[in-house]
Amino acid sequence: MPGPDPHELWIENHEPPYRVCHQAYFWTGNNGNRQARAVTILRRLARHDWYCRWCGDPLPDWRRADARYCCEGCRKRAARNRRVEREVWANDWR
C-alpha cells in the first residue's frame, strides 16, 4: 500500500510540546483526513509510541499514522522473526 504524500504532513517537534503540522486543502476546505492523521500521530508521540517496532528508531514523518515499522525492511524482518517464533513455539508442543 503506498504511503501518503510526504509533503502533506510533518512533525515539527519530536519533544514535548509535540507538534504535528499538515498542509491544508485550502481550495476545497476538505481537511478531515489530514487533521485526523495529524492528531493520531500526535497522540502516538505523546504515548512514546511513534517508533519502529523492530529497530526502535522514531518513525519518519511520512509514514501512515498506523505504521508500526520505519521501513519495508524492518517490517519484513519482524514478520520473518514472528514466523520463526511461531515455529519454535509449535515445536515445543509436539
Q: What's at 50, amino acid-wise?
A: W
Of the candidates 38, 45, 52, 59, which one interacts with Zn ion according to CB under 5 A? 52
Of the candidates 20, 42, 59, 70, which one interacts with Zn ion according to CB under 5 A? 70
- Binding segment for Zn ion (CB under 5 A), chosen from 8-16, 40-48, 54-62, 84-92, is 54-62
| Binding of residue 59 to Zn ion (CB under 5 A) | no
| Binding of residue 46 to Zn ion (CB under 5 A) | no
Q: In 3-state terms, what secondary structure has residue 80?
A: helix
Whole-number minimum distance, CB 20 to Zn ion, in Å? 20
Whole-number minimum distance, CB 40 to Zn ion, in Å? 19
Considering beta carbons, is residue 50 or 54 the nearer one to Zn ion? 54
Closest CA to 3 of 83, 60, 73, 88: 60
Rounded Cα–Cα distance for residues 83 and 4 (Å): 29
Of the candidates 9, 38, 45, 74, which one interacts with Zn ion according to CB under 5 A? 74
Cell of 76: 519484513
Rounded Cα–Cα distance for residues 69 and 18 (Å): 20
Half-sphere exposure of 60 (CA within 13 A, CB side): 11
